[in-house]
Structure 1
Amino acid sequence: MPCSNSCVTALLNSPLAHYAAALLLVVGLTTALLAAQKIQLRWQPYIAILRACLQLAIIALLLHGILAAPWAVVLFIALMLTTATVTSGKHSRRLHRGQVATALAIATGSLIAVALIFALGLVPYSTQNLVAVAGIIIGGTMTITTLTARNFTTLATARQGEIESWLALGATAPVAYRDITKAAITEALTPGLDQTRATGLVTLPGTFVGALMGGASPLLAAQLQIAVLAGQTLAGTIAALLLTSVITRTRVLPLSA
């Protein structure tokens, strides 16, 4: 019994217990603020954080083995691409070949950007850096692809008469959708560009902070962050252009969400 009590005491006094308690406090404050305004998300903040904890714990354990085997790194990147495609594809399924276009857009944009970052020496190559950079860029590309699909669907639905007029005049589908495509891509890329412009003044992005905490100099951390931001912008642009080039090859208007 004494041993059991001492073990419990040691656990309660551990940094992990303090971390868990502090985390619960932050999430609890979030839930309380939402409840006070009668925003019915209920336990969603807790569920989201718990899921994030479990997923990151699993990833942390897997990375110990993955980083030691090149083939495992390739499989892990493929898994990230697949997950991003499935997640973003939910928002493009109403569009012409939307899910195929989503897969093509995310994979092509992400892989080109990651390859250029390491080929040009913007980030020193290592399996750790490859996984980290690929994860950041794939995630950003997924977001831009989702925004492009959602914006395109909304705009095409709202401006259906304009599209039909172009088609009636004999315009090809890409021409009929041209203005809508430009607007959808612009709106999808704007949040990322705003974040890039505000970097260092409003936000300190994860790559910069992570590099600093890992012992890198502020100058090196800034160089790594800028490289990742440039890669994200390139990947998102390629993805948005590819997505819209596929989904506009039809005269059938998209269904409203």
Structure 2
Amino acid sequence: MTYTSIWIAFAFVLIALLLSLWQRLGLEKEIAVGTIRSTLQLLAIGYVLHFVFHSDSILFILLLIAMMIAVASWNAASKAKKLRGIFGRIALSLALTELVTMGLLVTLGLVSPTPQYLIPMSGMIIGSSMIVCSLFLTHMNREVETSRGEIEALLCLGATTRQAVQIVLKRAVKASMIPTFDTMKTIGLVQLPGMMTGMIIAGASPIEAVRYQILIMLSFSSSAAVSAVLISMLSYRLWFTRDSMLHS
């Protein structure tokens, strides 16, 4: 694909802008900023990956993965700005999820420990886990507010913070994982995933592309569960004060 083709593709953004103006949705700024940021970010990461792939340095690989975790944590933490220390807990959850998932993939010989495999797959795992963490925080905030009376009653009866919030915590964890498994149920029937589609467009055999996509989706199931459980265990205390009372 040439740069001319990319410029032509901006016509799709123009359609979105015109529809927003026509319906007075007020999304023109978000569409423009999102388009510019995504384009510049993708171009930048393209050159960075080109450099890292050719350098074949483990240090650059680790730095790039650390950057992915930091950006993903910052984005997920924006869903719960009132919770002090949530950024660090999300970062730890993502780092451990990445370590467990990629560690198993490499140890079991499912992927080669080279930049061409480690970086793209790490990006997909971290991105998927980031969405899980974001959904957990969103649902947890809603569940705590909805069940505030029930939680405070349990605390008054002598329950620990963990006991008081246990049911709410389970609902938030479950809600954060559902989109991942719903996607797995319809993949290949409703949508053709990006990795598989990219490989096919690049000339790979559809069968080979499907095998890689199955590997990715199965690893997503693990990473979703690990990240959801980790963030719940590490963060639930943030909704309480030091005196074990719910924050107002």
Q: What residue is the counterpart of 2:4 in the other structure?
A: 17
1:185 and 1:241 in contact (8 A); partners too: yes
Query: CA separation in 2, counterparts of 1:237 and 1:180?
Result: 17
User: Which has the greater radius of gyration?
Assistant: 1
> When the two structures are superposed, what TM-score results if normalisation uses the length of structure 1?
0.87
1:163 and 1:176 in contact (8 A); partners too: yes
User: Residues 16-36 of structure 1, C-alpha deviation per residue, up to 9 Å, x if partnerless?
Assistant: 224302x22111111111222
Q: What residue is the counterpart of 1:253 in the other structure?
A: 246
Residue 101, structure 1, aligned to residue 89, structure 2: yes
Matching residue within 72, 75, 89 for 1:87? 75
Length, aligned pairs only: 241
Counterpart secondary structure, 2:79: coil
Query: CA separation in 2, counterparts of 1:159 and 1:237?
Result: 24
Counterpart of 1:252, as a letter, is M
2:52 and 2:61 in contact (8 A); partners too: yes
Residue 39, structure 1, aligned to residue 28, structure 2: no
Select between 53-62 and 43-52 the one with higher mean Cα deviation: 43-52
> When the two structures are superposed, what TM-score results if normalisation uses the length of structure 2?
0.90
Unaligned runs of 5+ in 1: 1-13
Q: What residue is the counterpart of 1:55 in the other structure?
A: 41
Residue 139, structure 1, aligned to residue 127, structure 2: yes
Select between 160-169 and 82-91 the one with higher mean Cα deviation: 82-91
Unaligned runs of 5+ in 2: none
User: Residues 35-90 of structure 1, C-alpha deviation per residue, up to 9 Å, x if partnerless?
Assistant: 22211112321221121111111111111211222211111111111111122122
Residue 190 of structure 1 deviates from its aligned partner by 1.0
Q: 1:247 to 1:19 in 2, by over 3 A?
A: closer
Query: CA separation in 2, counterparts of 1:126 and 1:224?
Result: 16
Residue 163 of structure 1 deviates from its aligned partner by 0.4
Structure of higher RCO (CA pairs closer than 8 Å, 6+ residues apart) = 1
Q: What residue is the counterpart of 2:188 in the other structure?
A: 200
Name the % identity. Answer: 27
Q: 1:217 to 1:31 in 2, by over 3 A?
A: same
1:96 and 1:248 in contact (8 A); partners too: no
